[in-house]
Amino acid sequence: MKKICIILGTRPEIIKLAPFIKILEEKKKDFFIIFTGQHLYKNMTSIFLSFFNLNKIKYQLKFYPKKNKFFKFAYFKINEILKKEKPDIVVVQGDTYSALLGALSAQNYKNTLNNKLFICHIEAGLRSGDFSLPEEANRIIIDNLSDLLFCPTFMQKINLQQENIKKKIFVTGSTIVDSLKFVKIYKTSKVEDYYVLTLHRHELLSNQNKLIKTIKLINNIAIKFNKKIIFPCHPRTKKILQNKRFNLNNNFKICPPLDYKKFINLLYNSKLIITDSGGIQEEACILKKKIITMRNSTERPETVIVGANFLSKFKKKEMYNYINKNKLNYWKHPYGKKPSLKIYNYIEKFTNN
């Protein structure tokens, strides 16, 4: 395998790329990491870099608070680094702005090399059909720019085929399967009777009236089912919730963002997970925990199909009915075995010709 560049900049990317990076380290491959600094808050990333012991970040970009400045600056810097390092392979993960910048920069660099560069997209083919979410456009652009596309399930492969993307497409599973193996999961000795809540998406936080209604809805759930809500709170979310209009009551226990081990164990010992996250839908499904996704659409419909996930569409009655169901969590998760190794083997095979 040739020289590899890995581009990441957010907590989900750290979590999902860590197992793949560990394989590169074990096999003593030539690689380097560009960290874009997309997340503005250090405790959103540093504790995860430390947990996974990712200490080979060669380039750590300084960020700018405004998104447009970050985008322009990071694009310029990544291009500069690629020209200096001359990698043969660029790997990006997911649908973040860091992944988009990585793919765009790699394509720009590739144009100067007469196609002597492979762009690899881990977690390819996800689609929600909702273009009000910026991630949806990011996914499509990254998939069209990439040469090797690694899908979590066959549903994503079908998405790519229906879009007539004629690249090398592989169904590998989700690397979150491997990430969870880094965590020692324990069952608490005392009865834990709580729900876990996470809310962080821009489209919710930027609409204060919708956010207020969402908080009230979740509080009604807590009251009806007599549960505490443990809320590991994104710094941006916490800042918004300090507005007096929200008036959070004692049902909500807000805590800072947790490291990966603590967070996964919090999920594992909960009665229910309520979230607007993407990755947590996968984690909950693998951990066999029921989840309500506070959105109108999901790019992970397989979690709904197997019965792990309920897409709320913010309908109170339907959410109550889902919680009331005593369905046992016996589903089989669809995210495969040893996905990171599969991805490594495919890259090894198709970039060495």
Residues labelled as active-site residues: 200
What is the 3-state secondary structure of the chain?
CCCEEEEECCHHHHHHHHHHHHHHHHCCCCEEEEECCCCCCHHHCHHHHHHCCCCCEEEECCCCCCHHHHHHHHHHHHHHHHHHHCCCEEEEECCCHHHHHHHHHHHHHHHCCCCCCEEEEECCCCCCCCCCCHHHHHHHHHHHHCCEEEECCHHHHHHHHHCCCCCEEEECCCCHHHHHHHCCCCCCCCCCCEEEEECCCHHHHCCHHHHHHHHHHHHHHHHHCCCEEEEECCHHHHHHHCCCCCCCCCCEEEECCCCHHHHHHHHHCCCEEEECCCHHHHHHHHHCCCEEECCCCCCCHHHHHCCCEEECCCCHHHHHHHHHCCCCCCCCCCCCCCHHHHHHHHHHHHHCC
What lies within 8 Å, CB to CB, of 203 at 6+ separation is 132, 133
Q: Residue 327 and residue 307: Cα distance in Å, rounded? A: 9
Query: Measured between alpha carbons, how far apart are the two ends of the chain, in Å?
Result: 10
Evaluate whether 6 touches 41 at the Cβ level (below 8 Å): no
Q: Residue 13 CB: number of other CB atoms within 10 A?
A: 29
Evaluate whether 271 touches 193 at the Cβ level (below 8 Å): yes
